[in-house]
A and B are shown apart, each in its own frame.
Chain A
Amino acid sequence: MSDEFSALQLILDGDAALFAIVKLSLAVSLSAVVLAAVIGMPLGALLGLSRFRGRSLLVVLLNSLMGLPPVVVGLAVYLLLSRSGPLGTFGILFTPTAMVIAQTILIVPIIAAPTRQTVEDLWVEYRDELTAMDVGPAGRMATLLWDARFSLVTALLAGFGRAAAEVGAVMIVGGNIDGFTRTMTTAVALETSKGNLPLALGLGLILVTIVIAINAAAWGTRIWSERQVG
């Protein structure tokens, strides 16, 4: 019990270091979600609307990638960005930028796979109407993504949930550097192993609260806008 009380105390005190960690975590994960949405949604829509040989294989592959282990993504990005790696000259390993890249790769499939399914299902309903209106391939993608927008919010939330919760990728490519690349999840891991359970618990509590708050906000927005547009 005493551990939980100290954790609460830490939050209530509004510790500056704690605030910096929370801010970085949110900045990294939200940037990754935005980037992954920009890449994953058109990609999913494209796959949902195309017909070619080997498409089923690609769909299965994409669905499997939703379960990509964060440490594997972290390792791959580490190899790419390390000094001797192909992108080593940029010198961005152990920076927040590297963390955003790793998380983006991690959640592109999590956003693209459900987008593909949603767009494909909606296309069955829209095919005749859009064909008769002479809508081109790019217009089809845009129309279906827009009309599926309420369903796609769930895909975005799944992506955000994954990004905010994972520790493996950000730990490897960020390095958990105090005051620079330390996020909530890496800090929880570190403090737990150090035996500083109050801080670990406090951070864990904040993390869960933020995830719930963002989901609640998204849910509320969805309900409200569905009422507006039907």
Chain B
Amino acid sequence: MRAPVSDLPLVLDGVSLRAGSITILDRLNLTIASGAPTLIVGPNGAGKTRLLRLCMGLDRPTAGHITWGGRADSPMARRAILFQRPVMLRRTTAANIAYALALAGIPRSERAERVGALLERVGLSDLAQRPARRLSGGEQQRLALARALARDPQILLLDEPTANLDPAATRSVEEIVQSAAESGIKIVMASHDLGQVRRLASHVIFMVRGAICEQGKAGDFLDHPTTEEAAAFVRGDLVI
């Protein structure tokens, strides 16, 4: 199913995003390689969502270059993004997944089986025929995950998928993300939850006010932050 070329590593070279006189992202240099999950951490307004949109290819930087596996024009086919508030199509749960499978070029004859497998993977088998818009917040995030996984992505970008969820719903989303990571999908996930960073991250990119403040292994970031902002963030102080 996979195309022979790879989207990894994802490289940002001097990437800036400006809107008028406002700098949203400021000269980011970043290499995201295959492996365990990378978490983009930072306070609200740090530019995490914007960075994820650039990584997906939804927005173009106003300066600098982004390349996926060395190519600047890589199609989105190998990537998927989970928005903080995913849009549920006005159809059943199963039909939402079938829609994504159809777009991914899966032939009609294979779709039913794949839908079943994906529903199982995200634990929504019992709700297959339920209207997607009637699902709870956590169920909607899991359906959005199934839709993203239907694309068979190499990179999965997630924008604070558990921001509005209770602990039980958060856990089931994290378990799906974990298993996706174990199956070889590169996870890049925004979060401002330190507990989540501890549970999921192998690598951390810490952003403040549109710039990368610190990046490295998750353990180092959590235990020995080198910058003042990171130290304050890890301590639980308010970083703005």
Contact = CB atoms under 8 A, between A and B. Distances in A.
Interface of A: 125-126, 128-129, 131-135, 139, 143, 146-147, 149-150, 228-230
A2 B81 CA distance: 72
Given A132-B56, A133-B100, A228 B131 contact: yes
20 contacts: A128-B58, A128-B83, A128-B87, A129-B83, A132-B56, A132-B58, A132-B76, A132-B81, A133-B100, A133-B103, A139-B103, A143-B89, A143-B99, A146-B90, A150-B90, A228-B131, A229-B92, A229-B131, A230-B131, A230-B132
Contacts of B80: 132
A143 B98 CA distance: 13
The 4 closest A-B pairs by CB, nearest first: A230-B131, A230-B133, A129-B87, A147-B90
A129 B58 contact: no
Judged by DSSP, the binding face of A is helix
B92 A134 contact: no
Judged by DSSP, the binding face of B is mixed
Contacts of B147: 133
B75 A134 contact: yes
B151 interface: yes
Contacts of B56: 132
Interface residues of B, number: 23
Contact of A134 (B76, B87, B99, B131): B76
Given A132-B58, A230-B132, 12 more contacts: A125-B87, A128-B58, A129-B83, A129-B87, A132-B80, A132-B83, A133-B147, A134-B75, A134-B103, A228-B131, A229-B90, A230-B131
Interface in B76-122: 76-77, 80-81, 83, 86-87, 89-92, 99-100, 103
Interface in B126-178: 131-134, 147, 151
Nearest to B150: A133
A134 B153 CA distance: 13
B146 to A, nearest CB: 13
Given A139-B103, A230-B131, A133 B151 contact: yes
A129 B147 CA distance: 11
A125 B88 CA distance: 10
B87 A126 contact: yes
A135 B103 contact: yes
A150 B58 CA distance: 30
Contacts of B87: 125-126, 128-129
Contacts of B75: 134
A225 to B, nearest CB: 10
Contacts of A149: 90
Contacts of A133: 100, 103, 147, 151
A128 B84 CA distance: 11
Nearest to A136: B103
Contact of B77 (A129, A134, A147): A134
Contacts of B99: 143
A162 to B, nearest CB: 27
Contacts of B132: 230
Nearest to B100: A133
A145 to B, nearest CB: 11
Nearest to B131: A230
Given A129-B83, A134-B77, A229 B103 contact: no
